[in-house]
Amino acid sequence: MSKIHYQITINKNIMNIFSRLFKIGQAESHAAIDQLENPIRMTEQGIRDMKEDLDKSLHALAEVKAMAIRSRSESESYQQKAADYEHKAIQLLKKAQAGEMDSSEADRLASEALLRKEENLKLSDSSKRDIEKYEGSVQQLEGNIRTIKANIAKWENELKTLKARVKVSTATQSLNKQLAQIDGSSTVSMLKRMRDKVAQEEALAESYGQIANESRSIDEEIDKALTQGSAQAKTAGELAALKQKLGLDAPAGEQ
């Protein structure tokens, strides 16, 4: 796979990563998020998306590193071949000098060996340039991966806090709703009706008492008045008799 294709793949992964981060940022800052999507489910999905992008980036990183390793190996191999061709050229010239082969043939073959040497040196230099490019991509991917991991950890902690806040908010909302509810089925409304009912019963009992007092017959009043008068007269007579007996209140003509 070509380096250009890998660079395109890397850029796409980076764009996907930051689009996920932006989506979660929108979920956090949107004023009407509760009317659009469940914030917990949305955050969980955003984290899952980031983890998928992280897996893709790790896979791309491994492949780019493999290409860098392969290019380094090829560069070393080309350098070794160049050195071998140079050594062969030297051996050919030495053989011609020693009279072991025709000098013109030795020169021709040595020249070919030197051409092969230059070709391998150029291939080695090309591999070195590829290594630099791959290593640059590796550094970029590693930086992005560190950012993704940090954001995943951040949003996982944020998710825990968000879940706790939702639980508290739900419980508080339910409690406040019960306290604020004034319809006929509410407990508070029922208790108020019971209190009013007791007060009404008490007032009704007092009213019946007043009516009962007002409805007494005149005969009862007369009998009560007579009874009270007789008792008072009897008491007065007994008091006078006692004084007379003690000589405390004798008539004036008898003294």
pLDDT tens per residue, range 176-197: 776 665 554 566 677 777 788 8
Once rounded to an integer, what is the mean pLDDT over residues 153-175? 84
Inter-residue contact 27 to 47 (CB < 8 Å): no
Inter-residue contact 53 to 20 (CB < 8 Å): yes
Once rounded to an integer, what is the mean pLDDT over residues 96-122? 93
Q: Of the ranges 28-42, 50-64, 86-100, which one carries the lowest mean pLDDT score?
A: 28-42
Q: Of the ranges 33-47, 168-182, 214-228, which one carries the lowest mean pLDDT score?
A: 214-228
Q: At residue 30, does pLDDT exceed 60? A: no
Q: Which residues of 152-181 are buried (b: 16+ CB within 10 A; e: fewer)?
A: beebeeebeebeeeeeeeeeeeeeeeeeee
pTM: 0.51
Cα–Cα distance for residue pair 75/197, rounded to 1 Å: 99
Q: At residue 87, does pLDDT exceed 90? A: yes
For the chain, the average pLDDT equals: 78
Q: At residue 36, does pLDDT exceed 50? A: no
Q: What is the pLDDT of residue 32?
A: 44
- Residues 216-239: pLDDT tens digits? 556 676 667 666 666 666 777 777
Confidence of residue 15 (pLDDT cuts 50, 70, 90): low
Q: What is the pLDDT of residue 28?
A: 52
Of these ranges, 17-31, 110-124, 145-159, 197-211, the one predicted with the greatest mean pLDDT is: 110-124
Cα–Cα distance for residue pair 86/65, rounded to 1 Å: 32
CA distances from 183 to 6, 172, 192 (A): 66, 19, 12
